[in-house]
Chain A
Amino acid sequence: MADATANDAPPGEDRTQTKRSWKARFNQSDTLKGFSLLSPTLFVLIIGIIIPFGILITISLWTAVGFGFDTSLTLNNYQTAAEQPLYGALLSRSLMVSGWATVATVVLSYPMAYYVAFHVHRNKMMWIVLMTLPFWTSYLLRVFAWKVVLGYEGVINSALMGLGLIEAPLEFLLYSTDAVIITLAHAWAAFAILPMYVSLEKIDKSLLEAATDLGDGPVARFLRITLPLSMPGIISACLLIFIPTTGDYITPALLGGPDGLMIGNLIQLQFGPVNNWPMGATLAIILMLTIAAIALVFLVLTKLVKDRLT
């Protein structure tokens, strides 16, 4: 940048001259080139993330008064959120639910990713497409489908009753935390399968052959080679599922019942019937910070795993 200013206008030139040369300088500068390269990204970042986030933070510092706001800045909402047991309880319930949903999804998806990576030799692409097929339909429809499956007269209950295994329908299936976990585990499966498939696919098969030659059985081979090498995929799958499910509100709203509510429902309620946008914004920020903290832990984990592998 210093080079660009080399033929600077001498002092004492009239104003238009100085202006032009400043313009000329700027046009040639690396700064401009840098900005012009960055600008679309920067633009999207500002419009899509920085401004909305700024608005959210500002609103969270206001106070709701009737339909309007008292715009003097205060941390009262954060204090209320910290003091009232409701918010903490729902936040921890959300973390618990999405924690279990993450575990369930990863455990159920791993075999599928494994199968496609190691045992499918032709038409791998078709398999991947088949696995994403359920995700071509709306999220809401999938949640409703689970409502039908888990319902009082639903697929599971009718099947079990038809087989004579139970006499009365199981009531815990629907309108419970379990229903939310089951649905989330299915609804987000593609986001677990794909990253795990990618990292499994990348594993050098000769390592497995070498292990066989050295006398390892299938279990030892899996535990000593496949699993550790697929860890980056597992961790990113966990992140990809944990982050969006913590804030989910459709699934708990439709399947959760009174005991299955999550923090996302509370945020929606603050913006809706309760009409307290500042509190909603506060809760959204608290949720974001919590998730960010957890994501950080995952990132550190990824780094540790990578360091160990290389």
Chain B
Amino acid sequence: MDVLDQLGAVKEGKMSRRAFTRSLMAAGVGMATVPLSKMAHASDGDQATYFTWGGYDIPELFGEYQTKNGALPNFAIFGASEEALTKMRGGFVVDVSHPCNQAVPRWAATGLFQSVDVSRLAHGADIIPELTQLEGNQDGDNLWMVPFDWGSTSITYRTDLVELDGEESWDMLWDERYSGRLGSLGAGADAWWVGAIKAGISFDNIDSDEAFEKIAEIMRAQRPHIRVYTDDTTSLEQALASGELVAAMTWNSSAVTLAAEGVPVKFANPKEGALTWVCGLMIHKDAPNVDRAYDVIDSLLSVESGKFMVNDYGYGHSNKNTFDHFDEETLVGLGLSKNPTDILGSGHFQKPQTQEWESKMNALFEQIKAGF
């Protein structure tokens, strides 16, 4: 019945006000639930949702998934993995998420994830075992994180603008000569650990009060020289390309991307050692598409994805067969090796820390970034 007819009916006394209100309410509820019903409808043929860093949301990594499921997975993007965890703790449900190894025990402790059954993965047998066995990834029979990519955090610098003072060193990011033209990743998960390397603190003791003080002092000394702290790697890359920044703390991919565009940059191999990391994939305990979650992981573990990761991002890959497609020289040029333990062992590898440590570190680092 049309609303005007109804109004007329009410006026003439043919329809009770209550009946009118009821139909109005029905219309209202209908309107309000349209998006819900649409969502419910859309979800039955839906793709898995992959919650990841910007740059991993690209078709090149999902060839296998696309062939199998006819479309790309849905992507949700985070800027820093702690932000992702917060969002999921707030009720955001995804199928697969992409944290790094040092965060895994804390992530698993939230009870938001299910352990992964490697036998369900087509490429499960090809995973480099050393990466799976890293501290934190496994607990008892549970495998929480399937390793996917690994690499290092170091300094990408403009070879034409930076005059090296001896060897490559983390000192470059504290160099007064380039004050205001240095950049840094914004998350403590990288920057604070680099501070520890610069302060000469072993990662075994990074949780002591003394370590906090020393690192804070180092980070405060750096802050006036930093033009921008950001986890938006595109901003850092653009700033390096334009010469706005002469050096910045980045992951491997920034250097590889910039070099591919002809910008004269080099990814430093600091004498104190780089910061090394392994990231991977975790499945949400309420994942609506568990089968497709495994498809996402399989697709990322495939050799095709691995070739792209090594070639275009300069990251290591967890599928051992990937490296058969590259010669030793190429790998060394990218700062990689067929044996990830060589690389991970030569740098400083992050160790899982408690949630209290993480909160304290982040709070302190945010204060320092704000100038206190």
Contacts of B358 in A (CB 8 A): 275
Question: Within A75-93, which residues are at the interface with B (CB < 8 Å)?
Answer: 85-86, 89-90
- The residues of B that contact A152 with a CB separation of less than 8 Å are 239, 242-244
B185 at the interface (CB under 8 A from A): no
Known A66-B356, A175-B227, A175-B228; contact A266-B86, beta-carbon cutoff 8 A: no
User: Which of A52-60, A235-243, A255-263 makes up part of the contact surface?
Assistant: A255-263
Q: Which residues of B contact A261 (CB under 8 A)?
A: 369-370
B83-A266 in contact (CB<8A): no
* Chain A residues near B180 (CB-CB < 8 A): 171
Contacts of A175 in B (CB 8 A): 227-228
Q: How far is the CA of A171 from the CA of B229 in the complex (A)?
A: 16
**B86 proximity list for chain A (CB < 8 A):** 271-273, 275
Binds A, one of B2-10, B38-46, B359-367: B359-367
Shortest CB-to-CB span from B155 to chain A, Å, is 18
Closest residue on chain B to residue A65 by CB atoms: B356
With A258-B371, A261-B370: A273-B226 Cβ-Cβ less than 8 Å: no
Known contacts A175-B228, A272-B86, A273-B82, A266 near B242 by CB under 8 Å? no
CA of A193 to CA of B110 in the docked complex: distance in angstroms? Answer: 49
Residues 136 to 172 of chain A near chain B (Cβ within 8 Å): 151-153, 169, 171
Q: A66-B356, A152-B242, A266-B370 are in contact. Are A274 and B363 (CB under 8 A)?
A: yes
* Known contacts A89-B372, A175-B228, A257-B228; A273/B83 CB under 8 A: yes
Residues in A whose Cβ lies below 8 Å from that of B226: 258
B354 contact set on A, CB distance < 8 A: 66
Q: Is the CB of B371 within 8 A of A273?
A: no
B270 interface residue per 8 A CB criterion: no
Q: Report whether over half of chain B's contact residues are helix, strand or loop; otherwise say mixed.
A: helix
* Chain A residue contacts of B332, Cβ below 8 A: none
**Alpha-carbon distance between A152 and B180 when the two chains are bound, in angstroms:** 13
Closest residue of chain A to B106 (Cβ to Cβ) is A67
- Give the nearest-CB partner of B21 in chain A: A36
Question: A46 within 8 Å of B by Cβ?
Answer: no
Chain B residues near A89: list those with CB within 8 A. 370-372
**Cβ-based interface call for A293 (8 A):** no
Report B343 CB to chain A, min CB distance, Å. Answer: 27
Chain B residues within an 8 Å CB radius of A271: 86
Cβ distance A161 to chain B, nearest Cβ, rounded Å? 12
Q: How far is the CB of A141 from chain B (nearest CB, A)?
A: 15
Beyond A67-B109, A175-B228, whether A274 also contacts B359 by CB under 8 A is yes
A288 interface residue, CB < 8 Å from B? no
* Cα of A261 to Cα of B188 in the assembled complex, Å: 17
A210 touches B (CB below 8 Å):
no
B371 and A259 form a contact (CB under 8 A):
yes
What CA separation (Å) do A25 and B82 show in the bound complex? 58
Residue B355 interfacial (CB < 8 Å): yes
Q: Please encode chain A, from 159 to 192, with 1 for each CB lying within 8 Å of some chain B CB and 0 for all others.
A: 0000000000101000100000000000000000
For B244, the chain A residues whose CB sits under 8 A away are 151-153, 169, 171
B120 an interface residue at 8 Å Cβ cutoff?
no
Q: Does B121 belong to the interface (CB within 8 Å)?
A: no
Whether B292 sits at the interface, judged by CB under 8 Å, is no
Interface string of B331-370 (1 = CB under 8 A from A): 0000000000000000000000011101100110011011
CA of A259 to CA of B359, assembled, Å: 23
A275: chain B residues at CB < 8 Å are 82, 86, 355, 358-359, 362
The 9 closest A-B pairs by CB, nearest first: A152-B244, A273-B82, A66-B355, A273-B362, A153-B242, A274-B362, A86-B372, A274-B363, A275-B359
Given A89-B371, A276-B363, 8 further pairs, Cβ under 8 A: A67-B89, A67-B106, A175-B227, A259-B371, A266-B366, A272-B86, A274-B363, A275-B355
| B contact set with A: CB distance below 8 Å | 80, 82-83, 86, 89, 106, 109-110, 180, 187-188, 223, 226-229, 239, 242-244, 354-356, 358-359, 362-363, 366-367, 369-372
Subset of 26 A-B contacts with CB under 8 Å: A66-B354, A67-B89, A67-B106, A67-B110, A67-B355, A89-B371, A89-B372, A90-B370, A152-B239, A152-B242, A152-B243, A169-B244, A171-B227, A175-B228, A257-B228, A258-B229, A258-B371, A266-B366, A269-B362, A272-B80, A273-B187, A273-B366, A274-B366, A275-B82, A275-B355, A276-B363
